[in-house]
Structure 1
C-alpha cells in the first residue's frame, strides 16, 4: 500500500485497494482512505457485505468510509433526481420578502410610481416589490417503498435505500420504507439517514412479496393520495395466489401501484417475466425503471 502511494500517488493506491476489496480481501478495507477513495455502489456493496461478519470494533472503524461513500452517492443521485421532482412545488407571488424578486409582477404592481427623468428615461420606484415563494402544489402524498431484500437483491437494495433517502427530502411526500424477505421490517424511521438505513437492512433469505404488500396496505390512509412501489425480482417464494390477491386488494383501494423490476450490476432488468405478467393482469404495472425514471413516474402521478 505504501509503495503504491509512493510510486503512483494516492489515487491509484485507492483504486487498487478498492479492487482488492472487491475480490474478497477484507483486510484491505481498513487501509482505504475515506477522503481519497472513489465512491461507487460496487465498493459500498462490498463493504456492507463483509461488515455483517466483522466484530463491532471493526465496523466502527469502517463507519467513516461507509459514511463518505453513502453521502457522496446520495448527493450524486439527488442531483439527478431533483430536476424530475421540481414540479412537486410551484412558485407563487407574495409581498413577503424571502424569495427571488418577481420582476415582471413588480413592474406591473408599481406602474403608478413611474416617472420620466430629465434625460428622458423612465424610472419606476418599486414601493411594492413582489417576490416568489415556494408553494405546495397539492396535498401531501404517501409513498410506500416495498423493497425486496432477499439474497438475490443486493445491488437493488442499495439503490432503493439511496433513492428512498432522496425522496424523503421531498416536502410533498411522506416516504415509508418496508424491507421484506420472508419477514417484513418497517425501516421508515431510518429513511432520512441512508447510512443508518443501509446498516439496518439485512440482505438474505427468501422472498414473500405478499407479506410486504399486506403490510403496505395497513399503512394506507387516503388511497387516492398513496403510491405503493414494489422493488423486486418477483421470484415469489410463497404460493402466487396470495400475492395476486394482495395486488388486487391494493388496486381495489384506489391507490397507485407499481412494480419495479430489479436491475443487475450492468443496469439490465433481472426478474421473473412470468410472475410479472400475472401481476400486470392483476392490475399492477411492472417496469424496469432507473431511480430517475421512478422519480419521473412519481411526479406524473402526483401532478
Structure 2
C-alpha cells in the first residue's frame, strides 16, 4: 500500500522505490512525470518535481508498459501520449488493441497531415481500424432512425424478395390449426414483396461541412455520418467541404477513410461560398436536404450568406444548420449569425449524429 500511495502522489517519501515499483514509476514518468514526478526520482519531495532520464526509445518504453501493465493499459498510455503531442508514439500503437475514440482518430489525422507519405502509409492500418470501429458503432445507433428510408418499400407486385413479416400480417385471416395440432398454418393469399422505390422518388442530401481550424471534431463526425447515410438506397449523399474554398468529396463519401485522409482542416470560413456551390447541385428542390455543419463564424459579409440562405429556402430546399456536430450535441457557434440565419429560414441547432439522422429520416 505504501508504494501504491507513493506512485499515486508522485513523491518518494522516506526513500526511493525499488524493484518492480521503481520500474512502474519510471514507466509512468516517461509520459506523466514532466515537471511533476510519479515517484521514480531519487530526490523528489513535495516542493519540486522532476523525472528520470527518458527511455532509450519508444519501442523499449512500449515493451516495458506491456510487461508491467498488460497490452490494454499499454495502448491507453500510448494513446494518451499521442493526445499530448508525442507523434513518435504513433507507429508503436497496435491497431488491433487500441481503444477506438474520435479524439484519438482526430489526433492521428492531425499529425498525419504533416508527415511524409511513407510514414502516413504506416499509419493507415491504425486509421482504418479506428474509422471502421467508430463507423460500425455509429451505424448501429443510427440505423433505427433510418429504418423507414433504408428498408425497401412493400409491394403487391412480384419482382422483389418476399417480405415475410408483412406477408404474415396481411394474411392472418387465413390462419388455421395445423393438421397435426403442432402449430398454425397461414395461407399466403396476398403475398407482399420488397421493391425499390422509383428513382424519381429518391432524395438528395447535401452535407456542407465547415473544415476551418475550429471544426476538427465536427469534421470527423460529419465524415463518419455521411458514409453511413451514403448507404441508404433512396438517399443520394453529397459531401461538400469548405473553408474559404470549396472541395467536393462526394466520390469518396462511401469510404470514410479515404474521405478523412483527403480533408485538410484549417483556414478561414466562407459559408456563403459553400451554400453557393450546394445550390448548383440542387435539381429537385422539394426533395433536397441541405445540412450545413459550421460554427457560423462567417469570415466575409453576412449579407452574402443570408442571400444564399434565402435563395435556397425560396426554391423549396429543406435547410438545417448544425451548430457543431459531435456525440454530445454541444453548442459552439456564433449566436448572432445563427439568429439571423433562423430569421432567413434556416433552423439552427447543435446536434449529435443520431439527431441529424432522425431529421433526415423525418423529412424523407
TM-score (norm 1): 0.91
Compute the displacement of 1:150 (Å): 0.2
Of residues 290, 308, 311 in structure 2, which corresponds to 1:246?
308
Q: Retained in 1: the 8 A contact 2:326–2:353?
A: no
> In the TM superposition, what are the counterparts of 1:29-178 in structure 2 within 5 Å?
29-88=90-149, 89=151, 90-92=153-155, 98-101=161-164, 102-106=167-171, 108=173, 117=179, 124=185, 126=187, 130=191, 132-133=193-194, 135-136=196-197, 139-178=201-240
Higher deviation after alignment, 130-139 or 271-280: 130-139
Asked which structure has the greater RCO (Cα within 8 Å, sep 6+), the reply is: 1
| Counterpart for residue 245 of structure 2 | 183
Q: Retained in 2: the 8 A contact 1:264–1:270?
A: no
Compute the displacement of 1:136 (Å): 3.6
In structure 2, the gaps of 5 or more residues are 1-61
Matched, 1:286 2:351: no
The whole-number CA distance in structure 1 between the counterparts of 2:71 and 2:183 is 61
Give the secondary structure class of the aligned counterpart of 2:201: coil
Matched, 1:210 2:272: yes
Compute the displacement of 1:12 (Å): 0.5
Superposed CA offset, 1:154-197 (max 9, x none): 00000000000000001111000100000000000000000000
Of residues 8, 16, 41 in structure 1, which corresponds to 2:77?
16
The whole-number CA distance in structure 1 between the counterparts of 2:161 and 2:327 is 44
The whole-number CA distance in structure 2 between the counterparts of 1:23 and 1:257 is 38
Higher deviation after alignment, 266-275 or 157-166: 266-275
TM-aligned CA distance change 1:271 to 1:127, over 3 Å = closer
Aligned pair count reads: 298
**Structure 1: 4+ residue segments shifted above 6 A:** 119-123
Q: Which has the larger radius of gyration?
A: 2
The whole-number CA distance in structure 2 between the counterparts of 1:228 and 1:141 is 11
Compute the displacement of 1:265 (Å): 8.2
Of residues 207, 219, 228 in structure 1, which corresponds to 2:290?
228
The whole-number CA distance in structure 1 between the counterparts of 2:278 and 2:231 is 21
The whole-number CA distance in structure 1 between the counterparts of 2:142 and 2:184 is 43
| Counterpart for residue 194 of structure 1 | 256
Q: Retained in 2: the 8 A contact 1:244–1:282?
A: yes
In structure 1, the gaps of 5 or more residues are none
